[in-house]
Amino acid sequence: MKFKCANDSLFPNPNTFDGIEQFLVQETTFAEYLKLLTQNNINAIDKSWFFLNGDEVCFVEEGLPNDQFNIIASDFSLPLFIPDNNLETIGLWVSKRGTASSIHYDSNGCHNFNAQIQGSKRVVLFEPKEYQKLYMRTMTKDHSFHNFSNANWRELNYNKFPDLKDVQYIEGILEPGDALFTPVFWLHYFDHLGEMNINVNFWWQPTEINLNPVSLSWLLGRALAEMSQCTENLSQHDSANEFSKLFPSEEMLNFSKKLERIFHSWSNGRPGRLC
């Protein structure tokens, strides 16, 4: 079983996006992971916080079941309102008190149904129309954390991010037995409150996607990532130079940033300009 380890309880910390490694991925047994959590999040590799989330531990991934979790797969069933053929991922979150996930939208482009099994979490939800006020990351060469905000909801800095004063949101507490539906491209922040917090997350593909600044930026990011991957795949062939002439990486990145500015402007009803 794989898990993330980091020196910060905020996952990830927007203050250290650039130039600093956010976390390391380690591998151990589930029992050892739980032992680490109950030992005050300290281990021998000088990392002090651990994350087990749906990225590493999946009951179902890309619609296919993970056989190594058959022993506990019968402990839950797929909610009836989720179409079997649209199911993308069923993931497991296990965390300690103080863990938090920064403001973000799910980059898989899916709806989410989050079932609280143990512990509790504070959740803050933002409609896609609040996208511009949340100071989302702009395009980068490696497309890292593009779906996350630069603002730290734990330590709101209104001098640096003044539009946060006007952002509208929905806030609540998830207790054991509660479940939360997060529509595709709604932004969210979670603060983990219990001593041991366990959640099962169901992600499934929507039948349609509304046009908004979040969905457009998501599509743009996917397109840019795929074009970059094409460049890497062609790097060992003679055609690579021709491809790079057609799509220079810096020009692609700059053009993508221009498009993002247009998408942002739409969120406030203002017309966008390409230049």
Residue 188 has a pLDDT of 98
Q: Binning pLDDT at 50, 70 and 90, where does residue 45 land?
A: very low
Same domain? 50 vs 181: yes
pTM: 0.81
Mean of the per-residue pLDDT values of the chain: 80
**246 domain-assigned:** yes
**274 domain-assigned:** no
Structural domain containing residue 86: 2-127+168-204
CB 166 within 8 A of CB 97: no
Same domain? 8 vs 29: yes
Q: 144: Cβ–Cβ under 8 A, 6 or more apart, which residues? A: 17
Does residue 67 register a pLDDT over 50? yes
Average pLDDT over residues 241-263: 63
Count of structural domains, the chain: 2
Same domain? 178 vs 234: no
**150 domain-assigned:** no
* 5, β-bridge pairs: 24, 50
The answer to which of 130-139, 148-157, 201-210 has the lowest mean pLDDT is: 130-139
Does residue 28 register a pLDDT over 90? no
Does residue 89 register a pLDDT over 70? yes
pLDDT in tens, 175-216: 999 999 999 999 999 999 999 999 999 999 998 888 888 888
Average pLDDT over residues 20-43: 73
Same domain? 262 vs 177: no
Same domain? 244 vs 113: no
Same domain? 109 vs 179: yes
Same domain? 99 vs 179: yes
**134 domain-assigned:** no
Same domain? 57 vs 172: yes
**142 domain-assigned:** no
Does residue 19 register a pLDDT over 60? no
